[in-house]
Every structure is written in C-alpha cells, then in structure tokens.
Structure 1
C-alpha cells in the first residue's frame, strides 16, 4: 500500500513537471503507471489532494538531503557551502521545473499556496541553524542568521527561475560566482577566505 502510494506520487511529480499543474489529470498519472484512474482516486480522492501530496513528497526528499548535508561532521562553513551549492540551480538538486510550476499554481490554488509556504520553512530554518552555529563557533560573522538564510534562498530561487525559464540567460559559472559572492558577504568573509576555507 505505502509502496504503491510512493509510485503514484513519483508519477504525479513527473507529470506535473511535464504538463504543469493546471493541465495534469488523474488519467495522466494513471496512464504513466499503467493503472486505473480508480486506483489513483482510491489513494488521493481529488486531483488537488494528489498535487498537494506530490509537492509534499518532493519537498520532503529535498529537505532530507539538505539536512544530511548540513548534519555532516565538518565545519559550519563547509556544510553551508556544500548545501548552497547543492540547492543552487547549478548543483545536483533536481526539480526546479516542479517548484517553479508550484509557485505559479499557488497564486491560483489556495491549498497549494498553504503547502508551498509550509514546505519552504524547514529548509530556511535548517540553514539558519547552521549559520548561527558558525557564528557561535567564531567561524564567521553574521548578525542576522535568519535574514541571511532568507536572502540566500531568495537568490537561489530567483536564479533557478532565470536558468530554468530563460535558457542561457545566466551561465552556470556566473550563477555559481554570484552564489559564492552572496555567501561570503552574508558570512562577513571575503571571497578568497571563503574559497580557501572550503578547499
């Protein structure tokens, strides 16, 4: 039962990425797995519930990986840079098309707005916690860890939109340079110190 639900959620994520929230149908998810519409509706009684569960599933996977990176036994700076590089649209994080679609749909679908807002909170909190830890340990200076986490994730989200929606608008190298510049600035480090500290 749980395994089938996971399969349905993964299929829904794929269909949302391919078709968009507005266009995706229960039938598309069912067809992708070769199952009946009734089976999808048995697990998720409406399309809205399926979509909300799919976004929750994707976010939980991303958050688990982010927490793994931030929980490593190394310096706060190394953990932060590793997490930021993974999360950035130049890194290995997948699903930017899904999240951009979700943000757009959330403007029109109140239930999805609640889900996307709720799911954004733990990631920012985890980054805030590691920044505060690095400040307490004297690794760097940051008077407002929560503000820094919000500014960093806002930059990464904005770059993701540019790089996903407008192919070629920003090169991967330029985006990574901007991300490192922002991280150094938020932590009160110069760029050379940031690079040297994480080699």
Structure 2
C-alpha cells in the first residue's frame, strides 16, 4: 500500500513522535537516525532533510514532547478560580505522584543536555517556561491577598526543584518513598512557600 503524502508539518510531527518513542526505548545516547527512519519505514535521508543532524532531531523531539504538558499546565493555571487552587492543581498534576507523563524521557534529556548544547538550550527554555508560569500565578495570589510570598520567583524555583528531585527518586528507585508521604511533602512545601498553615500532616 502506498504511503499517504503528508504535509511538511505533518511529516515533521510524525518524525518527532517516532523520535520520542525511540528515545524512551533506547535512550538519547543510543538512538540513531536509522532507528527513527526504520520505525516509520522511511529513508535516513528523509529524516536528515527535515532536521539536518541527530542533535537537531533530538532537541526538536523534546520540544515536541513538552508542548502537551505546557498546554495542560497553562490550562490549569488559567482556570477561573483562586490562585491557590490553580497552584495546587498544577503542582499535584506535575508531581511524580500525579498524572503528568514522561518523567523517564525528561530524565534522559537532562542527562544528555550536559553534553549536547542544542538540547541544553531547548530543555533550559522549557524549564524557564514552567517556572515563569508558576511565578506568575504566585504573584497573582500575593497581589490578591490570598497568601504571603516575598519572592515568587524563588518560590517557583524551590518548588520545581523539589518536584524534579522527587521525580528522579520515584523513576530511578520506585518505592523508595511511599507515594502518600511524597504527596504530603509536596503539599507541605507549597503551604510553606505560600505562608499557609499545613493542610495535612506530613506522614504517610
């Protein structure tokens, strides 16, 4: 059966999705242009036509993978409710005990970014977008008098650092920290950053 002719945008999206899948299976270091091409039944030359190098392909694949998560984050933070409720919803979704997907992929990306400047630029930009979105809502809550936080940017950095670190633990050493305890730590950290009384005990 002949392959359906795709537009440039559709072809790029297909290649990026296949690259994400190959990275999840093989890891960034081991994945090859040939693996992506073989998965789709296309030539290596077609992949290189669209992305020039493996480094460009991998970086674009991470940006592609993040689009859905960033869109969902912005939807949660854009709801017509209090800043505190929006923040709690976003943090609980993004936390390693929540419904956000792809932690294994992102840990792969952080590791590879240490050696690949193109990927490092992309992952840094995505990280900054996440922190900026959290910072903005914390600042909105402060302005509305919902809570106290003298440094919204610092609070966003500390919260995301905690979530990322817990995700590494949960992904690499699943079961090291009980999920209930991990959720409690995240809630406690958010309460502390917002100057609120803890909503629940911190034991599992």
Interval of TM-score (by shorter of Structure 1 and Structure 2) = over 0.9
Q: Distance in 1 between matches of 2:96 and 2:40?
A: 29
Q: 2:99 aligns with which of 69, 92, 109?
A: 92
Q: Which residue of 1 aligns with 2:3?
A: none
Are 1:14 and 2:35 counterparts?
A: no
In the TM superposition, residue 31 of structure 1 has moved relative to its aligned partner by 1.8
| Deviations 1:17-71 (CA, angstroms, capped at 9, x unpaired) | 1111110001111122222222211211111110010111122222111111100
Q: Which residue of 2 aligns with 1:197?
A: none
| Deviations 1:89-119 (CA, angstroms, capped at 9, x unpaired) | 1111111111100111111112211221122
1:79-158, aligned counterparts within 5 Å?
79-158=86-165
Are 1:161 and 2:168 counterparts?
A: yes
Q: Distance in 1 between matches of 2:65 and 2:126?
A: 10
Q: Which runs of 5+ in 1 are unaligned?
A: 194-199
Q: Which residue of 2 aligns with 1:42?
A: 49
RMSD of aligned alpha carbons: 1.2
TM-score normalised by length of structure 2: 0.91
| Deviations 1:114-140 (CA, angstroms, capped at 9, x unpaired) | 221122111100100000101111111
Q: Distance in 1 between matches of 2:180 and 2:34?
A: 41
Q: Distance in 1 between matches of 2:139 and 2:94?
A: 19
Between Structure 1 and Structure 2, how many residues are aligned? 193
Q: Distance in 1 between matches of 2:177 and 2:43?
A: 43
Q: Which residue of 2 aligns with 1:173?
A: 180
* DSSP-derived class of the 2:177 partner: coil
Q: Distance in 2 between matches of 1:171 and 1:11?
A: 34
Q: Distance in 1 between matches of 2:26 and 2:80?
A: 41
Q: Which residue of 2 aligns with 1:63?
A: 70
Deviates most, 4-13 or 27-36? 27-36
In the TM superposition, residue 147 of structure 1 has moved relative to its aligned partner by 0.4
Deviates most, 166-175 or 153-162? 166-175
